[in-house]
Structure formats: structure tokens, C-alpha cells
Structure 1
Amino acid sequence: MKIIVNNINISIEKDQNLELKKEVVKRGVKEEYIQKIEYSKRSIDSRKKTDIKFVYNIEVTLNKDIDVTGLNVNLPKQIDEPIHKVKEGVKRVAVIGAGPAGLFAALRLCELGIKPIIYERGEKVDDRDKTIDNFIKFSILNPNSNIQFGEGGAGTYSDGKLNTRVKSGYMNTIFLELVANGAQEQILWDYKPHVGTDILKNVVKNLRNKIISLGGEFHFSTLMKDIIILDGKVKGIKIQNLLSPIQIEETELFEDVILAIGHSSRDTYRMLHKNGVFMESKPFAIGARIEHPRVDIDTMQYGKMVNHPNLEAATYSLTYNNKEEERGVFSFCMCPGGVIVNAASQDGGSLVNGMSYSQRDGRFSNSALVVGVKANEFGNDLFSGMEFQDELEKKTYNLVGNYGALYQNTLDFLKGKTTKRKIESSYEMEMKSYDLNGLFPKVISDNMKSAMGYWEKTQRNFISENANLIAPETRTSAPIKITRNEFGKSVNIEGLYPIGEGAGYAGGIISAAIDGLKVVDLAFTTIV
């Protein structure tokens, strides 16, 4: 028999397993009945720095059935999974992109008996790793295989954070699949689960091999150059093998194409627009990475308990609301013990992103610090937001003179003066000191300064001589939505299914994976 016990608070100073057992007994269960205790969820309550607590929800296996009436425990909820049957007439299905949305869509198709063909413009993750390392060392960019493009998508090089605000019945399926393919079991119960870039690379490879074993087919370094649409219906795609010495386009016939292109596929957006695929501008966010010595963030969050062995590198999540402009400023993609990397994917444009490894034990912690940009705020054209991103990236490249980054101490940014000293940073490529007030439009820099001024007063050590901005952070999310209907189909093209971040329907690894599973079930199955 299993029971659920929720909201158990235990000081980090105490023996966790012993205290959990005591709490179950306190709830009315005899100790001799307790066979096994497993975490369902664990979070940290660090509001009181002198008494930091873990907060648990647990599942308890008992060696005897008991009557729980009157006890402060719950019984597990029984969830009946719907049975999906493939719709008639489904033939060849192409999946464009091997990020989390594309991989989980492909896996779901395989499980349904549909054998997808997956096209990814970037390389397999091992080859992609070498290409990225070459870029960091020599500033030689491969515009088709980089931090943004390649097996696993941009999420492979972002720490593998799995927290999401999306509520979905698919979440448990995704987490179990990740663990089955090499992710840590801890992600099943951690309140801010992460895998780490080092482990996620192996998880991605294992997912690929599983899809292949189920009949899926992968083509890496293969770019979808065009889509064939006739009378409002997909008929096929034109692809190009990027490794071939003869750059010719080959036609592959498909009546169903799942678009999992990622939010940096600017050339693909333009191609789709040329072919009449309906798209809309959408909000996104722009800013910089803020980087601190990890010990400063750990101290900010944990106080005197900062070096306690039960505590990992600290995370934070900060928000600021400009009510007058109806605009948010927020931290995003926080990487404790992580590094800042160059995330360029276009020749002559430079930008940054953050990532960390599974141990999160680096000297620095960083996060995006970004300002919300409204749809069409910088122009009324469909691609105005994308062009605004592009302009900032090109401006940065020209200012640095290479694929580097601009930096400024946070106190100097607030004062509007250039930082005259060199800074210590996890960023490995070239950096140039620059007043970021001159990089961003006034609406961006003013809102960043307002938020930072507020956090300077409310978050100890967050704004200081040790805190630096590394810029620009431009690719937080897609500035475009490829509009679809309630069945996951493009609103005007039959057989086209936009999914994930690039379609504008997700904002991270888990939400993208959820979207891939959901759209496959909506589009290709009926519930029995």
C-alpha cells in the first residue's frame, strides 16, 4: 500500500531520512508499517537565513494496508491514461529539427507505429561539440551548427533546466523518458530540476538511438531550403546536404511536416513567409547576462548557512514590473555555478547565453537580465522584432571586432560610465568594455536600470563591484509565432504542424517537449 504525505518541513541541519520517518509517524502511521520512503518533490525554504529548511512531499510504501481515515495523509490519485489510435491515411511524416520538441514528437510518432524522418541542419552532438570548441578557440563560426543549431537544440547548451510553468499530463512521461535515457533520478522530485550540459549530451544521443531502434531515420547537416505547397496543402520539402561538395537541392515528398525549427531559424521564417505560411509578431525580451561570483549569490540566498554541505549552488528568480509602461523586467535562464557562452548563429553577429554542468560548481553564477519587448514595438513589419535582434548582434560584433561580448560593471551601468578595468568572468572569448546604455535603445536600458536600482535596495550584493553585465542577450524566445489551430495545424496550410520554441508555443526544454507530444496526439491520433 502507498500513501502520500505532503508539506513536511525539515531543517537542513537535521538527519533528513530520520526526520521524514518521524513525520510519517506523527501523521498517524505506525513506524513498523513503513517499508520505503521516496521523494515526490523537494524544495528549499531559505526565507529565514538562520533556519533554512527542505520542504518535502513524499510517497510512503507500507508493508500493510491500513485505514487512513482520520490520518493526516492522502492516497495516491489514480490517473487513467487515454488510449490513442493513429488516424487513417497517415503516411510519411517529416520532422524538421532535432531539439526537444522535434525529438519528443519523433519519439511519439515511433511509439504510434509511424516512422518519421528527422532533418536537422546542425551536427550530431559529438561533432557539434567539436565545432563549438573550435568556435570558442578560434572564432570560426559554423552558421548551421553552433550553440543554437544541432542535435538537442539550443537547450543542450543551456544547463538542461527542466522547470516550467506549463501544467501538463505529459510532464511525468517526459521526465521518466529523460531518466530512462541517462538523466539523474533527482529530476523526478527536485523543485528546480536540471540535468546539466555534460549529461544532457548523452541523454540526447540515447534518445536518438531509441528513435532509430523504433524505425525513425535521422539526417544531420541537412537544411530544409524550401517547402512545397500546392493549393494550400503540403506536398513535400526541398533539402540540402550541407556536407556535400555539390550544393544541390533534393525534393522529398511528404504530406505531413512537423516544424520544430527553434527560435533562431531566421532564414526558415523568411522562407515560410515567402510560401504564404501565416505568421504573427509576438512579444520577446532583450537584455544582458548578469554575472556574480557564485559565493555572492550563495550568500545572498543562504546567509551564514552558505557553506552547509546539504546546500547546492543557489538559484534566484527576480522580477520587476514597470506599471506605467506595462512592461516586465526579469531574470531568466539562471545558471548557478555556470558559464557565459557566445551563442552566435549568423555571420557577423554576436550574442551571449548561459549554461552550466551537472555539478554546478563553477566560480561564477549568471542569469539573463532582460526587458520585455512588445510585439511590433520596433516596427510594424512581421520581421521587425527579428531585425531588431539582428541589429543588436551586428552592432556588438562590429564594436568588438569579432565574435565577442561587451561588458560593464553594474554600478557603472547605473551611472552611465564605461568600466575602465578588466573584469573576471567565465566568458572565454574576447570582451570589450562598453557603456551598454549606448548599445540598447533607451526603453531597454532605462527599464534595466529601474529594475537594478530596485534590486540594489532589496537584494544584498546583487548590484555591486562584483556584479557585471555581459551583453547582449537577444535570443530569449521567438519574436514570431507560426499560428496554428486547436489541432496543432497551421491555420492556412494543410499538413504543416508548427511546434516548440521556434513556432512560438514553448519557452524551454520541457514546454517544448510537451508541445511536441501534444501536437502529435492532436494531429495524428484519435482517443479510443
Structure 2
Amino acid sequence: MKININNISISIEKNQDKEIKKEVLKRGIKEDNICRIDYLKRSIDSRKKTEIKFVYNLEVTLHNDIVIDNKDVIIPKTLTEPKRVPKKDLGRIAIIGTGPAGLFAALKLCEYGYSPVIFERGEMVDERDLTIEKFYNTDYLNVNSNIQFGEGGAGTYSDGKLNTRIRSGYIDKVFLELVGCGAQQEILWDYKPHVGTDILKIVVKNLRKKIISLGGVFNYNTLVENIVIRNGEVTAIDTVNKAGKKERMEFNKIILAIGHSARDTYRMLHQNGVFMENKPFAIGARIEHPRVDIDKMQYGSLVNHPLLEAATYNLAFNNREEERGIFSFCMCPGGVIVNAASELGGSLVNGMSYSKRDGEFSNSALVVGIKANEFGDELFSGMKFQEKLERKTFDLVENYGALTQNSLDFLNDKVTNREIKSSYGMKMKNYDLNNLFPEVISKNMKIAMKHWEKTNRNFISANANLIAPETRTSAPVKITRNEFGESINVKGLFPVGEGAGYAGGIISAAVDGMKVVDLAFTTIVE
């Protein structure tokens, strides 16, 4: 028998295992009946800096069934998943992209007995690593294999955060698969689970091996240049490999998992008449602090406690007059800021961290919400604005670098007159970011920063610096689909994940890929 006990608070100063067992026994559970105690969730309550607590939700497995007469003890409901069988005669299936949506769609298809052919414009992760390192050292950019493109997608070079706001029955499967492929066991119960880019690279390789063992076929360094559409239905794809060899291959179904930076693919789809529409996104900069400043902000006097990891934060401010959000995004405690360029002559930044999160700095995107048609009513107006900012940055820095400014100087409209210390490893140029961004962005960043300066000690200070621009928070367009995950005007085309506009992180993208496979490629049987 299994029971759940939720919201058990224990001071970090106490022995956690002993106190957890005490709390279970308080609920009337006999010690000799306890088989095991597992965490369902663990979070940190740091609202009171002098008394930080861990908060646990527990699953207790008992040797023998008992009668529950304690309101704090819950018997979990058993959910029965519908039985699904693959549809017949669907023909050949292609998947474009090997980010979380593409990989988990491929895994799901293979588990149903299909043999998808997967195409990735970039390299396998080991080769991709070397190519990115070459870019950092020489400024030579491979436009098909970089921080955005390659095995594992953009998420491979991130913090590897796995928290998500969506609710889905697919989430447990994603986490179990990640652990089975090498991720840390703790992600199964930690309130804010993360993997780290170093571990994600291992996970991605093992997931690829599993998909191959189940019948999936991978093609790396293979760019899909065109999708052939006849009479409103996909029939083939045109590819070009690293050597320049072109090939046309016939497919009946295509899962499009391209990622949010595949601008050339967006344009190709538009030329082929695939229906798309502009959607909201966000733009701003990375804000970077010495890690100890954020740890002090969150933990107070307990900052160096051995049970506390590098601190995270999640800040949001709502400009009600404009109905616009300003918020932190993709927070990387103990992480680094990296150049995330994927196009020649355009420069931008992103953040990532390793599994130990033990770097000198912590960083996060600080971004302003942009409405769907804020920069024009034509399709791709938002994407063109992203490109404009990235090209302007490249021209100002005169290379693939970043524009930098101390947070106080930004608030006071002046260029920082000293060298900024940062985890960012490429060229930096001090610049007044008020002259980089349009007023709608700079004004709203200032409003939020002034608010946070009052409410969060250490957040805005001489130690807090802006590294810019952060332009690729999410897709600026949506490839509109119906309730079965299929394009509303092209049969056989199934847009999934972040690039399609239906996800916002590793977990939600993976879930979206699996969900569409179930909707479109299987049938529920009684």
C-alpha cells in the first residue's frame, strides 16, 4: 500500500532523514510497517531568512494495508491510461529536428512500432561541442551547428531546467526516460529540477541510442531545404548534406520540430503556403551577479549552509497600463553567459550552467513581453525585429560579441566607464542599452528594475551587470495546427515544440512531441 503525506516542513539545521521519519510516525504509521519513504517533491522555503526550511511531499510504501484515519494522510488515486494502438498504413514518417520535441516524438513513434527517419541540420553532440568551442575561440560560426542547432536542440546548452507550468500525464514519462538515459535521480522529486548542460549531453546521446535500437534512423548534418506539398498534402522533403549533396525523399507524414531559431525554415514554409501567424515573445538582456550576491539575497545569514545549493530566483512585474509583463527567464545559478548566434552577422546571448552550478556568477534573462503584432502586422514582423537587434549588436561590437552596461548606469542613461567582470567569454563593449532597445523595452525594463531594487536586496547594484541582447526567448511565430496536431491547411504536417509555438522549455517541448504522436498516429481501443 502507498500513501502520500504532503507539506512537511523541516528546518535545514535539523537532520532531514530523522525528522522525516518522525513526521511519518506522527501520522499514526507504525515504524515496522514502513517499507520505504520516497520524495515526491522537495522545495525550499526561504521567506524567513533566519529559519530556512525544506518542504517535502512524501510517498510512503507500507508492508501492510492500514485504515487511514488521519486527514494529513492521502491515498493516491490510480490513473488508468487509455490503451493506444498504432494506426495502419500511414506510410513513411519523417521528423525534422532533434530537440526535446523531436527526440521524444521519435521515441514514442518507435515504441508504437513505427520506424521514423530523423533529420538534424547540425552535428551529433560531441562534434557539436568542438564546433561551438571553435566559434568561441576563432569567431568562425557554423550556421547549421551552434548553440541553437544540433543534437539535443538549444536545450542542450542551457541550465537544463525541467520545471514547467503545464500539467500533463506525459511528464512522468519524460522524467523517467531522462533518468534512464543518465540524468540525476533527484530530478524525480526536486521542486526545481535541473540537469546541467554537461549531463544533458550524456542524456541526449543515450536517448539517441535507445531510439536507434527501437528502429529509428538518424541523419545528421542534413538540412531540410524544402518540403514538397502537392494538393495540400506533404509528399517529400528536399535535403542537402554537409558535403553539398542534394536529395529528395518521399514521406507521407512529417513531424516538424525545428526549434525557435530556424528562421530560414519559417520562410520556406511560408513560401510553400503553410499557415502561420505572429505570436507574443519577449526581448531584453541577461542580468548577471556574483553568485554570492544572489545567494545572500535568497538565503540571508544562512548563505553558506552546506545543504543549500546556488540560489535561484523568479521575478515578475506587471505593467498594468500597458498590459505587459517584465520578468526573469531561464535563470542560471552558478552559470555562464554564452554567445548564441546562429546567423552570420548577428550576435546575441543566452545562459547555461553545469550540473554542479558552482560558477562564480549567476545570470538570468531579464525580458519584456512583446505583443504579437507590436512591430508590424506583416508575418515575421517580430522575427525581423529580432534580426535587426542582433545585426545592430554585431555592428556595434564589430564581431560576435555582447553589449554591456552596469544596471545602475542603465537606470541613469549613461555608459559604464569601467571594465565589466563577467562569465561571458567573447568580446564585450560597454554601451548605453537605452540606445539599443526601442523605448517600449528600455522603459519597461527600468520600471521593473526600480521595483525590484526596492524589494530584493542586492538585485540592482554596482555588482549587477546587463549583457545584451537576449532575443531568442521563444518563437515569434506559431505554425497553426488543429486539435490533432496537424497543420490547419497542409495534411501530413505536424508542427511540434518551441519552434511551432506550442512549448516553452525542455519538458513542455518533449510533452508536446509525444502528445501529437498519440493524437495523430494512434487510436484508443476499449
Q: Give the TM interval when normalised to the shorter protein.
A: over 0.9
- For the pair 1:298 / 2:295, whether they are aligned, the reply is yes
Matching residue's letter, 1:123: E
Contact 2:27 2:70 in 1 (8 A): no
- For the pair 1:112 / 2:109, whether they are aligned, the reply is no
> What displacement does 1:72 show?
2.8
SS in structure 2 at match of 1:419: coil
CA offset digits 1:243-293 (Å, max 9, x no partner): 21xx24211000100000000000000000000000000000000000000
Matching residue's letter, 1:516: G
Distance in 2 between residues matched to 1:103 and 1:70, nearest whole Å:
44
- For the pair 1:385 / 2:382, whether they are aligned, the reply is yes
Distance in 2 between residues matched to 1:15 and 1:157, nearest whole Å:
36
> What displacement does 1:64 show?
2.4
> What displacement does 1:63 show?
2.3
Distance in 2 between residues matched to 1:278 and 1:202, nearest whole Å:
37
- For the pair 1:21 / 2:21, whether they are aligned, the reply is yes
Write the mapping of 1:245-256 to structure 2, written as runs, cut at 5 A. 247-256=244-253
Write the mapping of 1:32-51 to structure 2, written as runs, cut at 5 A. 32-51=32-51
> What displacement does 1:217 show?
0.3
- TM value normalised by structure 1: 0.99
Matched pairs, number:
525
Distance in 1 between residues matched to 2:81 and 2:182, nearest whole Å:
25
Distance in 2 between residues matched to 1:283 and 1:521, nearest whole Å:
28
Q: Which structure 1 residue ranges, 5 or more long, are not aligned?
A: none
* Corresponding residue to 2:451 among 441, 451, 454: 454
Distance in 1 between residues matched to 2:63 and 2:227, nearest whole Å:
60
Distance in 1 between residues matched to 2:430 and 2:299, nearest whole Å:
32
* Corresponding residue to 1:483 among 480, 483, 493: 480
Distance in 1 between residues matched to 2:107 and 2:72, nearest whole Å:
41
Contact 1:28 1:72 in 2 (8 A): no
Residues 75-84 or 431-440, more deviating: 75-84
> What displacement does 1:411 show?
0.1
> What displacement does 1:159 show?
1.3
> What displacement does 1:70 show?
3.8
Distance in 2 between residues matched to 1:195 and 1:526, nearest whole Å:
34
CA offset digits 1:69-116 (Å, max 9, x no partner): 346311122111211111122121000000000000000000000000
1:206 is matched with which residue? 206
Q: Which structure 2 residue ranges, 5 or more long, are not aligned?
A: none
1:500 is matched with which residue? 497
SS in structure 2 at match of 1:187: helix
Contact 1:225 1:249 in 2 (8 A): no
Distance in 1 between residues matched to 2:51 and 2:145, nearest whole Å:
47
> What displacement does 1:32 show?
2.4
SS in structure 2 at match of 1:501: helix
Q: Identical aligned pairs, as a percentage? A: 71
Distance in 2 between residues matched to 1:481 and 1:159, nearest whole Å:
25
Write the mapping of 1:226-245 to structure 2, written as runs, cut at 5 A. 226-241=226-241, 243-244=242-243
> What displacement does 1:380 show?
1.3
> What displacement does 1:181 show?
0.4
Contact 2:33 2:64 in 1 (8 A): yes
Distance in 1 between residues matched to 2:118 and 2:380, nearest whole Å:
27
> What displacement does 1:65 show?
2.1
CA offset digits 1:164-209 (Å, max 9, x no partner): 1010000001000000000001000001100000000000000000
SS in structure 1 at match of 2:499: coil
SS in structure 1 at match of 2:195: coil
1:274 is matched with which residue? 271
1:343 is matched with which residue? 340
2:139 is matched with which residue? 139
Distance in 2 between residues matched to 1:88 and 1:179, nearest whole Å:
32
Contact 2:6 2:72 in 1 (8 A): no
* Corresponding residue to 1:359 among 356, 372, 381: 356
* Corresponding residue to 1:311 among 308, 311, 327: 308
* Corresponding residue to 1:516 among 508, 513, 516: 513
- For the pair 1:102 / 2:102, whether they are aligned, the reply is yes
Distance in 2 between residues matched to 1:359 and 1:83, nearest whole Å:
40
Matching residue's letter, 1:436: L
Distance in 1 between residues matched to 2:490 and 2:89, nearest whole Å:
18
